[in-house]
A and B are shown apart, each in its own frame.
Chain A
Amino acid sequence: DTEVTQTPKHLVMGMTNKKSLKCEQHMGHRAMYWYKQKAKKPPELMFVYSYEKLSINESVPSRFSPECPNSSLLNLHLHALQPEDSALYLCASSQTRDTGELFFGEGSRLTVL
């Protein structure tokens, strides 16, 4: 059983829609991450939050907007996405940013039509 929970598991949206992906962890971790994974590729880092502050933004387009309401929750707001944004979006957490070991959720499969 994963201790990082992501919702929804599947999302289909049009290019004009606004939607959000949600992630929750109850391990007391202070770092949370969003990764994007295309088929047959490794995960690519999008954002890192450390102690609820954005610490890494890997030059992700502004149509992706992260939010960390508290230490247990991480959201990814989606607006005006493109079909090439279709991917598996993975949330992860770690004890702190420097502890290295990542705990992943099962992912949200996003399809943009």
Chain B
Amino acid sequence: AQSVTQPDIHITVSEGASLELRCNYSYGATPYLFWYVQSPGQGLQLLLKYFSGDTLVQGIKGFEAEFKRSQSSFNLRKPSVHWSDAAEYFCAVGLNTGGFKTIFGAGTRLFVKA
């Protein structure tokens, strides 16, 4: 069955430090891949997406993600975290199996300490 795994339930990072959030997926072919961010009490906002082509994808707010086919991973990175980055981050997979469907990972909560 298709699945998306975010191994870290929560991560704490110091402001100014680098960040990497992990995401692994299980699917026979290369799916569409997304990272969304959700601030408390808000909806989700798309940070970046990968459909094909260059495996290093740039997104909004200084985020980037790298698709690694051999590891079935799509990890999110940011070189220097700001306090406003504290939020919930969802990795998602888009599958086209008899109709497009998005499957979300369980999410990683990011805490930023001063």
Name A residues whose Cβ lies closer than 8 Å to a Cβ of B. 2, 4, 6, 40-43, 45, 55-56, 88, 90, 92, 97-107, 109
Chain A residue at minimum C-beta to C-beta distance from B94:
A100
> Once the chains are docked, how many angstroms separate the CA of A80 from the CA of B52?
45
The segment from B22-30, B43-51, B66-74, B78-86 found at the interface with A is B43-51
Which residues does B use to contact A, with CB under 8 Å?
Answer: 32, 34, 36, 41-46, 49, 51, 90, 94, 96, 99-102, 104-107, 109
28 A-B contacts (beta carbon < 8 Å): A4-B43, A6-B43, A41-B106, A41-B107, A42-B107, A43-B44, A43-B90, A45-B101, A56-B101, A88-B41, A90-B43, A92-B43, A92-B44, A97-B100, A99-B100, A100-B34, A100-B100, A100-B102, A101-B49, A102-B34, A102-B36, A102-B44, A102-B46, A102-B102, A105-B43, A106-B43, A107-B41, A107-B43
A32 to B39, CA, bound (A): 22
- B102 in contact with A45 (CB, 8 Å): yes
Q: Are B100 and A107 in contact (CB under 8 A)?
A: no
The 4 residue pairs across chains A and B that have the minimum distance between CB atoms: A104-B43, A42-B104, A100-B94, A104-B44
Q: Are A56 and B34 touching (Cβ within 8 A)?
A: no
Instruction: Give every chain A residue within 8 A of B42 (Cβ-Cβ).
Output: 106-107
Q: Which residue of B lies closest to A44 (CB)?
A: B104
A45 to B45, CA, bound (A): 16
Apart from A43-B104, A100-B32, A100-B34, list 12 A-B contacts with CB within 8 A. A40-B107, A40-B109, A42-B106, A45-B102, A55-B99, A56-B99, A97-B100, A98-B96, A98-B100, A99-B100, A101-B49, A107-B42
B107 contacts which chain A residues (CB < 8 A)? Answer: 40-42
Residues B51 and A100 in contact, CB atoms below 8 Å apart: yes
Note all chain B residues with C-beta closer than 8 A to A107.
41-43
**Closest CB of chain A to B32's CB: distance in Å?**
5
A97 / chain B contacts, CB cutoff of 8 Å:
99-100
Q: How far is the CA of A109 from the CA of B105 in the complex (A)?
A: 22
Q: Which of A6, A100, A109 contacts B49 (CB 8 A)?
A: A100
